[in-house]
Amino acid sequence: MAFILVHGAAHSARAWDLVGAELECRHNRVVALELPDNEPDASAMRYAEIIAEAIPNGEDSTVVAHSASGWFLPLVATLCSIRRMVFLAAAVPRIGMTFLELFQAEPDMINPDWLGKDPRSEAVATKFLLHDCPPERLAWALATIRVMNLHRVWTEPYPLERWPNVPASYIVCSEDRTIQPAWSRKVAKMQLRVEPIELAAGHCPYISRPKELAEILIEQLNLDSAETGHRP
């Protein structure tokens, strides 16, 4: 079994190190890929292609996308065969809409206090992303911060014609200070049509709760493969 771990807009692949180690010690293959931060004109499909290219050929793969990278996940499922899409405190796209249009329609998606903040500021990162991080882990966690330029992604209509027929899961971080937990629960039930999985953590559980997150991901292997996320 392979887990493809995709970081969000404010982190690098290094942020997955602790979860990757937990998964590997349980005999799973792990690919934590680095998305580019130097392609301001990159489209959602461009990012999806990068993710798809990192998926091992012929392996049964679960793709876990955090935060902004949830926007790419359904596109990845149209480019290659994957076992399951896992949205981790993640944005879920709406076919034909831009991200900005979705946010205007659902302003409860993002904590208003987070809007406009720069996660490269230690104070901002600590307050909104790493507030539940163990103190001895904080310096390392701050070193994993990296910001992607997603201007084109947020302003282009979502380039998907039909939702992929691939099982989906949504992990809600109940102490999230960026994407609102109540919105995450709603989108899991109403759009993905799955029961949300609750994790008592902030926005970045791969840093603050790596063992618990790894256990949740492994539990997904036992889900009925016929269960699907269906069409939003």
Would you place residue 56 in the very low, low, confident or very high pLDDT band (cuts 50, 70, 90)? confident
Tell me: pLDDT of 227 over 70.
no
**pLDDT value at residue 40:** 84
pTM of this prediction?
Answer: 0.94
Q: What is the pLDDT of residue 219?
A: 85
- Number of C-beta neighbours around residue 21 at 10 A: 14
Give the mean model confidence (pLDDT) for residues 36-58: 92
Residue 44 phi/psi, 5° resolution?
-60, -40
pLDDT band, very low/low/confident/very high, at 57 (cuts 50, 70, 90): confident
157 lies in a domain?
yes
* Domains of the chain: total: 1
What local confidence, expressed as pLDDT, does residue 53 receive? 95
Residue 200 confidence (pLDDT) above 90:
yes
Residue 231 lies in a domain: no
Q: Would 227 be classed as within a structural domain?
A: no
Question: Span 180-188, mean pLDDT?
Answer: 98
Instruction: Kindly state the average pLDDT of the residues 124-147.
Output: 97
Is the pLDDT reported for residue 26 higher than 80? yes
Question: 231 pLDDT band (50/70/90 cuts)?
Answer: very low
Higher pLDDT, residue 222 or 40: 40
Does 67 fall in a domain? yes
* Choice between 93 and 232, residue whose per-residue pLDDT is larger: 93
Q: Which of 36-45, 55-64, 195-204 has the lowest mean pLDDT?
A: 55-64
| Residue 163 placed within a domain | yes
What is residue 220's predicted lDDT score, i.e. its pLDDT?
Answer: 73
Q: Is residue 25 part of a domain?
A: yes
Tell me, yes or no, whether 196 lies in a domain: yes
CATH number at residue 141: 3.40.50.1820
- Domain of 174 in residue numbering reads as 2-222
pLDDT at 130: 98
With 70 as the cut, is the pLDDT of residue 166 above it?
Answer: yes
Give residues with Cβ within 8 angstroms of 197, minimum separation 6: 169, 170, 171, 172, 216
The mean pLDDT of 137-165, rounded to a whole number, is 95
Confirm whether 228 is domain-assigned: no
